[in-house]
Amino acid sequence: MMKLLPRGRNILEAEIQGVSNHGVWLYAGGEEYFLPYKAYPWFLKATVRQIYNVEFLFGRHLRWPDLDVDLELDALKHPENYPLIYSGSSRCDVGACVREKNTKKYGKKK
**Looking at the domain assignment, is residue 77 inside a domain?**
yes
How many angstroms separate the CA atoms of 35 and 19, rounded? Answer: 10
% of the chain residues with pLDDT over 70: 65
Give the distance, in angstroms, between the CA of residue 20 and the centroid of all CA atoms in the same chain: 14
Give the contacts of 70 (CB within 8 A, at least 6 positions apart). 61, 62, 63, 64
The Cα-based distances of 28 to 3, 82, 96, 99, 104 in angstroms read 29, 19, 27, 25, 30
**Looking at the domain assignment, is residue 95 inside a domain?**
no
Number of residues that make up the chain: 110
- The tens digit of pLDDT for each residue in 49-96 reads 999 999 999 889 999 999 999 999 999 999 888 876 655 544 444 444
**Looking at the domain assignment, is residue 52 inside a domain?**
yes
**Looking at the domain assignment, is residue 59 inside a domain?**
yes
DSSP H helices in the chain: 48-52, 73-77, 94-99
Domain count, the chain: 1
User: 45 lies in which domain range?
Assistant: 14-81
Give the domain CATH number at 76. Answer: 3.30.2020
SS3 of the chain: helix, strand, coil, percent, to 5: 20, 30, 50
**Looking at the domain assignment, is residue 89 inside a domain?**
no
The pLDDT of residue 91: 42
**Looking at the domain assignment, is residue 93 inside a domain?**
no
**Looking at the domain assignment, is residue 30 inside a domain?**
yes
> 41: pLDDT confidence band, cut at 50, 70 and 90?
very high
pLDDT higher at 101 or 20: 20
**Looking at the domain assignment, is residue 98 inside a domain?**
no
